[in-house]
Amino acid sequence: MNPQHVVADAAVSPLPVLLAGARPDAPSRVIHGVGVGRNAVVGPVARAHPAPSVRADAPAPVDTDAAVRRVAEALALVGDRLRERAERAEGTLAQVLAAAAAMAADPALLADATARVAAGTDPALAVWQSTEQFAALFTAAGGYLAERVTDLVSVRDRVIAHLQGLPEPGVPTLSRPSVVVAQDLSPADTAVLDLDLVLAIVVERGGPTSHTAIIAGQLGLPCVVRATDAAALVDGDLVAVDAARGTVVTAPDAQVRAAVARRREGLAALVADTGDGATADGHAVQLLANIGTAQDAERLPVAGVQGVGLFRTEVLFLDAQSAPGREDQAATYARVLAALGGRKVVVRTLDAGADKPLAFVTQADEENPALGVRGYRLVRSAPELLSTQLAAIADAASRTGQDPWVMAPMIATAAEASAFATAARRAGLRQVGVMVEVPSAALRAREILAEVDFVSLGTNDLAQYTMATDRLRGELADLLDLWQPAVLDLVAATVEAGLELGKPVGVCGESAADPVMALALTGMGVSSLSMSATAIPGVRFALRSHPMAVCRRIAEAARSAESAEHGRAAALRLVEPDVRAALALDLT
Q: Is 205 annotated as a binding residue?
A: no
Beta bridge partners of 456: 435, 506
Q: Is 312 annotated as a binding residue?
A: yes
CB atoms inside a 10 Å sphere around CB 347: 24
Considering 162, 211, 223, 546, which one is annotated as catalytic? 211
Least Cα distance to 358 among 304, 402, 313, 328 occurs for 313
Considering 162, 508, 546, 551, which one is annotated as catalytic? 508
d(CA 367, CA 355): 13
Catalytic site includes residue 32:
no
Q: Is 2 annotated as a binding residue?
A: no
In this structure, are strands 40-47 and 178-182 parallel, antiparallel, or unpaired?
Answer: parallel
Alpha helices in 105-245 (DSSP H): 107-118, 123-141, 143-147, 149-163, 187-191, 211-219
Q: How many CA atoms lie within 13 A of 10 on its CB side?
A: 33
Q: Is 73 annotated as a binding residue?
A: no
Q: Is 416 annotated as a binding residue?
A: no
Q: Which residues lie below 8 Å from residue 41, measured CB to CB, with a gap of 6+?
A: 10, 18, 179, 199, 200, 222, 240, 241, 260, 264
Sign of CA dihedral 113, 118, 121, 122: positive
Report whether 228 contacts 182 (CB < 8 A).
no
Beta bridge partners of 488: none
Catalytic site includes residue 211:
yes
Report whether 390 contacts 423 (CB < 8 A).
yes
The DSSP letter of residue 57 is T
Query: At 507, which helix (H) or strand (E)?
Result: strand 505-507
Q: Is 471 annotated as a binding residue?
A: yes
Report whether 538 contacts 38 (CB < 8 A).
yes
Largest CA distance in the chain: 80
Q: Which residues are annotated as a binding site for phosphoenolpyruvate?
A: 312, 348, 460-461, 471
Q: Which residues are annotated as a binding site for Mg(2+)?
A: 437, 461
Q: Which residues are annotated as a binding site?
A: 312, 348, 437, 460-461, 471
> Which residues belong to the active site?
211, 508
